[in-house]
Amino acid sequence: MSAEPAILDTARPVAARPPSDAWRRLFRHPGVLVGGFILLFMVIVGLCAPLLGTIDPSGINPTVRNRLPGFERTIRADDGTEIPFTFRMGTDSLGRDVYSRVLYGARVSILVGVIVAVISIVVGLVIGLIAGYVRWLDGIIMRFMDGLMAIPAILLAIALVSLFRAGLFSVIVAIVVPEIPRVVRLVRSIVLSVREEPYVEAAIMAGTPTPKLLIRHVLPNTVAPLIVQGTFICASAILIEAILSFLGIGIPPETPTWGNIMAEGRSLFRVFPHNIFYPGIFLALTVLAVNMLGDGLRDTLDPKMAQR
């Protein structure tokens, strides 16, 4: 009897946490530093948008339609006084201030990215654990996931938004669904390989109940790969949200999102390219930052995945 706890005790640390110097390596990785810095900048821009010299991002002003960046005009402030204002990034065809819309747009993009990543990971983790552990359900779940994965992601998202009323929630659902099978596959493959590990076999022999086994021994192995996967999902979610909005089938057009600003600027692109380029640069930088962060996380937290 006394041998069993000993096996479990020596086994657990191996299973549970990445090497302790992983965190130190993480903060020295150039991709993580640069990506993290840009991302932090975008988060601050989004959060502090009201303090950064913006006006109402949805405020329509017919007298200043289609102005180039740098246009100056006095506008009426909230308290009724006239104040001089510079439209740093120009205005769109409804006279809305593009600078304000771009800054507020950071909120929607980052929010969608984070929420989609969290939901996809949680749902995918649960389904993946079930598929990996309940043998008779495995076949059914994985065939279903194969079917979902056979539909190209953007196409599936487009089809799903067509079913609901346009809005933040339906866009999030539409982006989450195509991401889930990828998480399920990852989690299932981890469960299947962990199950063969001696310390898990030992735990099973010791009579550990299944839920405890999953939480104590299997779950910790999924943390690092899922953080990495979550980062990439976040990047692709930001992109897909912008694509849906750009195509005019995403978040309602009055909401300031980068995709919406660009969609609005399409018709007058020849004369006023700033409506596309400013939000485009912010969008590209944000996705680039998240991707760099993801690559860095993969290199440092999950060396096995980096070799693949």
Partner 1 sequence: MLSYILRRLVATVPVMLIVAVLVFLMLRLTPGDPAAIIAGDNANTEQVALIRTRLGLDQPIFVQFFIWLGNILRGDFGESFFFKKTVAELILGRLEPTLSLALFTIVIAVAVAVPLGVLAAYKQGTWIDRIVMGFSVMGFSVPVFVIGYGLIYLFAIKLNWVPVQGYQPLAQGFGGFIHRLILPSVTLAVIYIALIARMTRASVLEVLGEDYIRTARAKGQVEIKILFRHALKNAAVPIVTVIGLGIALLIGGVVVTESVYTIPGLGRLTVDAVLARDYPTIQAVILLFSLVYVLINLAVDLLYTLLDPRIRY
Return residues touching partner 1 (CB under 8 A): 143-144, 146-148, 150-156, 158-163, 235, 239, 242-243, 246-249, 262, 269-270, 273, 276-277, 280-281, 283-284, 287-288, 291-292, 295
Question: Cβ closer to partner 1: 7 or 243?
Answer: 243
Closest approach, Cβ 290 to partner 1, in A, equals 8
**Which tokens in the block code for residue 130?**
């079930």
C-alpha span between 129 and 242 (Å, rounded): 32
Question: Cβ closer to partner 1: 166 or 224?
Answer: 166
Closest approach, Cβ 248 to partner 1, in A, equals 6
Distance (Å) of CA 102 to CA 10, 50, 79, 90, 94: 53, 12, 24, 11, 15
C-alpha span between 1 and 246 (Å, rounded): 65
Closest approach, Cβ 121 to partner 1, in A, equals 20
Determine the 3-state secondary structure of 67 from DSSP.
Answer: coil
CA-atom Rg of the chain in angstroms: 24
Question: Cβ closer to partner 1: 87 or 278?
Answer: 278
Secondary structure of 194-210 in the HEC alphabet? HHCCHHHHHHHHCCCCH
Closest approach, Cβ 150 to partner 1, in A, equals 5
Question: Cβ closer to partner 1: 16 or 281?
Answer: 281
Question: Cβ closer to partner 1: 118 or 148?
Answer: 148
